[in-house]
C-alpha cells in the first residue's frame, strides 16, 4: 500500500500527514502532486550533510532519517562560544536553503528533545537541561510511538511529570526503555553515538575571507593550521599519532586527508610535509573557504632532552621516526612493518607484523637453532614426481616449477602439528601433521619441504609440498 | 717521499671526487678483503645477483647479503625494501642477522622501491638498506650512490625478477661499487654427522671498483646456533675458485680498517 512519506508546509496546512494512504490523500486534495520517496537518496544527502558539518566538529553522528548530532565539546571556543557557533551554523544552513531546527544541550537526548519539540535554537545551560525538558511532551524522549502514546493516554503529558514519578513504578509500567531514555536525556545514563569519526577536542580551524585555490596557498594554509594545532598540543605537553585535515569547499563539499605518525609528534613542519604530497589530489573546485585539522590518538609527550654524551648516536625521533612516517604515508601503513615473533606452531603464523617503533619486542625471539628458511611462500607449492623410499624418509627426488631436483642430503623430519585445537573437533585428523625436511639438491640449493598426511592412511594420502627456500 | 699506501689513499680521494671516504667493512677473510679495497666499501651501493631460478626466488643472494651486512645491522638500523613479501624473519635469526633491527617495506613497483631505498639511505641511524629490484639503470644508480654518500650507509641491491617474467636486459653500465654473483653450493656436514652442514655459497666478485675480481666458496660461520649473532665475521673461506694465478700476495693489500 502506498502511503505519504513526507509532506511540505502547504500540504500540511491541508491536513495531509505522513503515513496517510496515498489514495485517501488524493481524495482529500484531488490535485495533489506526489513524487516517489527515495530513502537511499535521503540517507546519502544526510551523510553528505554530516560530512559538511565536520567544519564544526570532527565528531558528527547521523540520526536517520533526518537528524544530526554534533559533539562540540572543545570546539565551540573556535567560534567564541556556543551562541556564535549556532548562529554561524544557522546562517550557513539557511544559505543552502535547508529547513532545520537547532538546539544545544549537555546530552544528545536533551538536544534531540529540544530540537524536535522545544523552541528553535534553544541552548540548555550546563546541567540545566531538566528545566527546559519539563514542559515537553513524552514523545520528545525518543520513545517508540506506541510507548509514547501509552504514556500520554495515562495523562502524563509533560516530561516533568515523568521526572517527578518514582523510578520503580515508572520502569515497571512503561518499560526499561522509557527510563533509559529519560536518564540519557538528563545525563544520568551514558549514550553512545556512532560518530563517523571519533570525537576529539583537538581541532584547529582557519577560515578565509577570500576562497583559496592555488596549490601554494593550500600548502601554506596546511602549514598554518598545523602550526595552530601543534602550538596547542605543545602548550599542554601532548603529541598525536594521527592527523586529519579537512578542506571545506565553497560548494559545501569536504575533502579529508589523513596522515599517521609512528611516534606521537607535534612538529608542525614535519606534519605539514607529510600532507604536502597528498595535496595535489585535493580538487579545490571554486575555492576552499575553510580548513580544519583534527588530531587523534593524542597522548602525553614530554619534551625531548638532548643528552650530550650520546649526541653522536642518532635519536629515533631524528631519523627513523620521520622515515617510517614518510614511507607509511606514501605506501600505506600496512606496507611498512617490523617482524615480531608470534606464539604459534604453524610456521606461517610464527611472524607477526608490528608497527615499526611502536612496540619493543617482549616475546622471546625465534629459536635460532631450528633452521628456518629465509624465503617462506605464503602458500606451500605442491611437488610432483616425488620419490621417497620409506614412509619416514625424505624425498630422493622431486619436481618443482618444472625442474627435477635430485636430493643429495637431507635432514629431518621435524614434526609440526597444525593447530587442531582451533578447529571443529570433526575436522581434526592425523592428516594435519606435517613432517618437515630440510633437503639439499646436487647443485647445493636447499629447500624446506613437508609431507602432509601419512602413508597407509586411505583417508589422507600423503602429499608433498615445498614451503620455503634456505640460504 | 710517498710510500705505496699514501699514494693509494691519495688516488682514492681523487677517485671519490673530493668526498671523504666512509671506510670499509672488512669481511675477515684475507683473500676476499684483499680483492676488495680492504673490505666492503661503506657509502656505496653493491649489487648481489643470482642465476637461473635464483634470479626469481633470490634466496641465496638475499642470505649472502644479509650475512655480509649483519655486522652493520648490529650497529644501526636496517631497512629491507621488498617487492614480494616472502622474506621470513626466523630465517634471518638463524643466520645471525638481528630481525628486530630490521624494518621491512613492501613497495608496489620498481620506482617506489628505489625511492624508498634512497629515502632510507639518507636517514640518520640507518646502516644498511637492502632492496629487491629488477634493474638499476644509470640514473637510478647515480641517485643511489648520492644517497649512500650522505650518511655512509651501504645499499645492497638484490636483483630479482618477477616470477615468470622474461627479465629485463642487463643495463650496459652500472655505478655500483661491487657486483657479487651468488649461488648456493653443496654443504659439508661436520665429520661423522648426517644431514646438512652450514650454508655454503659459491661467490664470484665480478666487479670491484678499486680492487680486483675473484671467486670463492664461502661458508656461513656459526649458523643455526645461539652464538650466530655474536660471530665477529659472519663468513669464512672454504676454498678459492677460478684462476689462482690472480691470488695476491696478501701482505701488500692489508689495510687498516
Residue-wise pLDDT for B55-106, tens only, equals 889 999 999 999 999 999 888 889 999 998 899 999 998 888 888 889 999 9
- Which chain B residues touch A378 with a CB distance below 8 Å? 86
On chain A, the residues whose CB falls within 8 A of the CB of B108 are: 331, 335
Domains and CATH numbers, chain A: 1-37 (3.40.1170), 40-186 (no CATH), 219-300 (3.30.1490.100), 337-370 (no CATH), 375-469 (no CATH)
Q: What is the pLDDT of residue B248?
A: 46
Indicate the SS3 state at residue A37: coil
A380/B contact by beta carbon, under 8 A:
no
CA distance A423 to B89: 27
Res A4: pLDDT: 86
**What is the model's pLDDT at position B167?**
61
Instruction: For chain B, give every domain's residue range.
Output: 30-247
Determine contact: A345 vs chain B, CB below 8 A.
no
The total of other beta-carbon atoms located within 10 Å of residue B26's CB is 20
* Phi-psi sector, B199: left (phi>0), alpha (psi -120 to 50), beta: beta
**Residues 6 or more apart whose Cβ sits within 8 Å of residue A163:** A130, A133, A134, A182, A186
B224: nearest CB among A313, A369, A375: A369
A407 touches chain B (CB under 8 A): no
Chain segment A359-377, per-residue pLDDT in tens:
655 556 788 888 889 999 9
Please give the torsion angle defined by the CA atoms of residues A207, A209, A214 and A215, in that order, rounded to the nearest 10 degrees. Answer: -10
Distance from the Cα of B135 to chain A's closest Cα (Å) equals: 21
Q: Is the pLDDT of residue B18 over 60?
A: no
Reduce the secondary structure of A384-448 to three states and give it as a string: EEEECCCCCCCCCEEEECCEEEEEEEEEEEEEEECCHHHCCHHHCCHHHEEEEEEEEECCCCEEE
Contact call for B123 and A322, based on CB within 8 A = yes
Contact between chains at A471 and B120 (C-beta distance less than 8 A): no
Does A134 contact B at CB distance below 8 Å?
no
Q: Does A356 lie at the interface with B, CB-CB under 8 angstroms?
A: yes
pLDDT in the model for residue A457: 66
Within 8 A of A394 by CB-CB distance, chain B residues are none
Residue of chain B whose Cα is closest to the Cα of A331: B107
Greater pLDDT, A145 or A141: A141
The SS3 of residue A59 is coil
CA-CA distance, B257 to B25, in Å (whole number)?
7
Is the backbone peptide bond immediately before A413 cis, with ω within 30 degrees of 0? yes
Say what the pLDDT of residue A316 is.
Answer: 60
Global ipTM:
0.84
Residues 6+ apart with CB under 8 A from B241: B202, B204, B215, B216, B217
Which whole number is the average pLDDT over A77-88?
86
Cell 646436487 sits on residue:
A442
Quick: pLDDT tens for B167-194: 666 656 688 899 999 999 999 888 888 8
How far, in Å, CA of A167 to CA of A142, rounded? 18
In sequence order, the 6+-apart residues with CB closer than 8 A to the CB of A414 are: A370, A435, A436, A437
The pLDDT tens digits for A302-361 are 665 444 444 444 556 567 888 888 888 888 888 999 888 887 777 878 888 888 876 655
- Asked if A372's CB is within 8 angstroms of B94's CB, the reply is yes
Give the range among A191-195, A304-308, B135-139, B236-240 with minimum mean pLDDT: A304-308
Query: Distance from B148 to chain A by nearest Cα, in Å?
Result: 15
Q: How far apart are CA A167 and CA B203, in angstroms?
A: 85
Run of H or E residues at A123: strand A122-123
Has residue B1 got a pLDDT over 70? Answer: no
pLDDT tens string A23-44: 888 888 888 888 888 888 888 8
Smallest CA–CA distance, residue B79 to chain A, in Å, is 10
Among A residues 298-327, those touching chain B with beta carbons less than 8 Å apart: 313-314, 316, 318-320, 322-324, 326-327
Residue B13 has pLDDT above 70, yes or no: no
Nearest-CA residue of chain B relative to A368? B94
What pLDDT is stored for residue B251 in this prediction? 45
The string of pLDDT tens digits covering residues A150-174 is 888 888 888 888 888 888 888 888 8
Q: Sort out which chain A residues have CB atoms less than 8 A from B199's CB and list them.
A: 446, 470-471
Contacts of A270 in chain B (CB under 8 A): none
- Mean pLDDT for A38-55 is 86
* DSSP-derived 3-state class of residue B120: helix
Parallel, antiparallel or unpaired: strands A67-70 and A384-387? unpaired
What mean pLDDT comes out for the span A280-304? Answer: 84
* Mean pLDDT estimate for chain A: 84
pLDDT at A427 over 80: no
Confidence band, pLDDT 50/70/90 cuts, at residue B247: very low
Which helix (H) or strand (E) segment holds residue B169: the answer is none
Q: Which of A303-307, A444-448, B151-155, B204-208 shows the lowest mean pLDDT across its residues? A: A303-307
Among A123, A121, A188, A133, smallest CA distance to A158 is for: A133
Q: How far apart are CA A426 and CA A437, in angstroms?
A: 28
| Subunit contact B123:A320, Cβ cutoff 8 A | yes
DSSP A281: G
What's the confidence (pLDDT) of residue A303? 60
Residues from chain A contacting residue B187 (CB–CB below 8 Å): 409, 440, 444, 446
Of A101-110, A262-271, A304-313, B8-17, the range with the highest mean pLDDT is A101-110
**CA pair distance A221, A72, nearest whole angstrom:** 23
Judge: A411–B194 Cβ closer than 8 Å, yes or no: yes
Dig out the grid coordinates for B148 from the structure. Answer: 649512500
Backbone angles phi, psi at A221, to 5 degrees: -70, -30
**Residue predicted with more confidence, B113 or A358:** B113
Distance between CA atoms of A435 and A454, rounded to whole angstroms?
9
Q: What is the pLDDT of residue B182?
A: 94
For the residues B107-121, what does the mean pLDDT come to?
91
Q: What is the pLDDT of residue A359?
A: 60
Q: Are A170 and A150 in contact (CB under 8 A)?
A: no
Query: What average pLDDT does this structure show over A422-439?
Result: 72
Partner residue opposite A378 with nearest CB, options B86, B89, B94 = B86
Q: What pairs with residue A299 in β-bridges?
A: A239
CATH class of B30-247: alpha beta
- Taking residues A59-65, report their average pLDDT: 85
With a cut of 50, say whether residue A95 has pLDDT above it.
yes
Cβ separation B90–A372 shorter than 8 A:
yes
How high is the pLDDT of residue A460? 65
> What pLDDT band is residue B254 in, cutting at 50, 70 and 90?
very low
Q: For B65, which residue in chain A has the nearest alpha carbon?
A: A471
Task: Indicate yes or no: CB of B125 within 8 angstroms of CB of A319.
Answer: yes
Does residue A102 register a pLDDT over 60?
Answer: yes
pLDDT band, very low/low/confident/very high, at B239 (cuts 50, 70, 90):
confident
How many other C-beta atoms are found inside a 10 Å radius of the C-beta of residue A174?
22
Surface of A (419-438) touching B: CB under 8 A: 438
Inter-chain Cβ pairs, chain A and chain B, closer than 8 A: 182
pLDDT of residue A310: 42
Q: Which candidate in B65, B103, B114, B203 is best for mutational testing of the A interface (most A CBs within 10 A)?
A: B103
Residue A78 has pLDDT above 90, yes or no: no
Average pLDDT over residues A222-235: 91
Cβ pair A323:B89 closer than 8 A: no
Q: What is the CA radius of gyration of chain B?
A: 18
Q: What does the pLDDT read at residue A178?
A: 85
Residues of chain A neighbouring B226 (CB-CB closer than 8 A): 368-369
Amino acid at each position: 500500500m502506498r502511503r505519504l512519506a513526507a509532506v511540505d508546509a502547504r500540504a500540511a496546512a491541508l491536513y495531509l500527514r505522513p503515513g496517510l494512504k496515498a489514495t485517501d490523500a488524493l481524495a482529500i486534495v484531488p490535485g495533489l502532486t506526489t513524487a516517489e520517496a527515495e530513502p537511499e537518496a535521503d540517507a546519502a544527502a544526510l551523510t553528505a550533510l554530516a560530512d559538511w558539518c565536520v567544519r564544526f566538529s570532527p565528531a558528527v553522528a547521523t540520526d536517520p532519517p533526518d537528524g544530526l548530532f554534533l559533539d562540540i565539546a572543545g570546539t565551540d571556543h573556535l567560534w567564541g562560544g556556543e551562541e556564535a557557533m549556532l548562529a554561524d551554523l544557522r546562517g550557513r544552513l539557511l544559505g543552502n536553503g535547508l529547513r532545520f531546527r537547532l538546539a544545544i544541550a549537555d546530552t544528545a537526548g536533551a538536544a534531540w528533545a529540544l530540537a524536535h519539540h522545544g523552541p528553535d535554537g534553544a541552548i540548555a545551560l550546563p546541567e540545566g537541561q531538566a528545566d527546559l525538558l519539563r514542559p515537553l511532551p513524552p514523545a520528545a524522549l525518543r520513545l517508540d510511538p506506541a510507548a509514547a502514546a501509552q504514556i500520554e493516554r495515562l495523562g502524563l503529558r509533560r516530561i516533568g511529570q515523568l521526572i517527578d514519578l518514582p523510578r520503580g513504578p515508572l520502569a515497571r509500567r512503561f518499560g526499561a526503555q522509557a527510563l533509559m531514555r529519560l536518564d540519557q536525556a538528563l545525563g544520568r545514563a551514558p549514550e553512545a553515538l556512532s560518530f563517523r569519526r571519533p570525537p576529539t577536542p583537538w581541532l584547529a580551524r582557519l577560515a578565509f575571507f577570500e576562497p583559496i585555490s592555488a596549490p601554494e596557498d593550500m600548502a601554506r594554509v596546511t602549514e598554518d593550521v598545523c602550526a595552530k594545532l601543534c602550538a596547542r598540543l605543545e602548550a599542554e605537553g601532548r603529541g598525536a599519532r594521527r592527523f586529519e585535515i579537512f578542506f571545506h569547499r565553497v560548494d559545501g563539499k569536504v575533502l579529508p586527508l589523513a596522515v599517521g605518525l609512528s611516534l606521537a609528534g607535534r612538529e608542525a613542519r614535519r606534519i605539514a610535509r607529510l600532507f604536502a604530497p597528498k595535496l595535489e589530489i585535493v580538487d579545490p573546485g571554486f575555492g576552499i573557504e575553510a580548513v580544519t585539522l583534527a588530531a587523534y590518538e593524542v597522548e602525553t609527550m614530554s619534551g625531548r632532552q638532548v643528552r650530550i654524551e650520546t649526541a653522536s648516536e642518532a635519536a629515533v625521533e631524528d631519523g627513523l621516526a620521520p622515515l617510517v612516517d614518510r614511507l607509511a604515508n606514501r605506501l600505506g601503513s600496512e606496507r611498512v612493518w617490523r617482524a615480531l615473533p608470534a606464539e604459534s606452531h604453524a610456521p606461517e603464523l610464527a611472524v607477526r607484523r608490528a608497527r615499526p617503533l611502536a612496540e619493543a619486542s617482549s616475546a622471546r625471539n625465534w629459536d635460532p637453532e631450528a633452521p628456518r628458511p629465509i624465503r617462506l611462500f605464503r602458500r606451500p607449492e605442491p611437488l610432483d614426481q616425488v620419490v621417497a623410499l620409506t614412509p619416514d624418509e625424505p624425498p630422493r627426488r622431486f619436481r618443482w616449477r618444472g625442474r627435477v631436483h635430485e636430493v643429495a642430503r637431507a635432514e629431518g623430519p621435524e614434526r609440526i602439528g597444525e593447530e587442531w585445537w582451533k578447529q571443529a573437533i570433526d575436522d581434526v585428523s592425523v592428516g594435519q601433521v606435517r613432517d618437515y625436511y630440510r633437503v639439499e639438491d646436487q647443485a647445493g640449493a636447499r629447500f624446506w619441504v613437508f609431507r602432509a598426511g601419512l602413508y597407509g592412511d586411505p583417508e589422507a594420502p600423503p602429499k608433498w609440498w615445498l614451503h620455503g627456500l634456505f640460504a | 717521499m710517498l710510500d705505496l699506501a699514501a699514494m693509494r689513499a691519495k688516488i682514492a680521494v681523487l677517485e671519490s671526487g673530493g668526498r671523504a671516504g666512509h671506510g670499509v667493512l672488512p669481511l675477515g677473510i684475507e683473500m676476499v678483503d684483499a680483492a676488495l679495497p680492504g673490505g666492503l666499501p661503506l657509502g656505496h651501493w653493491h649489487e648481489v645477483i643470482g642465476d637461473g631460478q635464483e634470479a626469481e626466488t633470490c634466496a641465496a643472494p638475499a642470505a649472502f647479503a644479509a650475512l655480509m651486512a649483519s655486522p652493520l645491522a648490529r650497529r644501526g638500523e636496517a631497512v629491507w625494501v621488498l617487492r614480494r613479501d616472502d622474506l621470513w624473519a626466523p630465517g634471518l635469526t638463524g643466520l645471525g642477522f638481528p630481525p628486530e633491527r630490521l624494518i621491512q617495506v613492501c613497495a608496489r613497483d620498481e620506482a617506489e622501491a628505489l625511492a624508498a631505498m634512497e629515502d632510507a639511505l639518507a636517514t640518520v641511524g640507518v646502516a644498511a638498506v637492502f632492496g629487491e629490484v629488477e634493474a638499476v639503470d644509470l640514473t637510478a644508480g647515480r641517485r643511489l650512490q648520492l644517497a649512500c654518500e650522505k650518511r655512509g650507509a651501504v645499499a645492497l641491491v638484490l636483483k630479482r625478477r618477477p616470477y615468470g617474467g622474461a627479465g629485463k636486459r642487463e643495463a650496459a653500465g652500472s655505478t655500483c661499487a661491487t657486483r657479487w654473483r651468488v649461488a648456493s653450493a653443496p654443504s659439508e656436514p661436520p665429520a661423522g654427522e648426517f644431514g646438512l652442514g652450514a650454508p655454503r655459497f659459491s661467490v664470484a666478485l665480478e666487479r670491484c671498483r678499486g680492487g680486483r675480481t675473484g671467486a670463492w666458496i664461502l661458508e656461513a660461520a656459526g649458523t643455526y646456533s645461539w652464538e650466530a649473532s655474536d660471530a665477529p665475521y659472519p663468513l669464512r673461506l672454504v676454498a678459492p675458485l677460478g684462476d689462482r694465478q690472480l691470488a695476491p700476495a696478501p701482505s701488500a693489500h692489508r689495510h687498516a680498517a
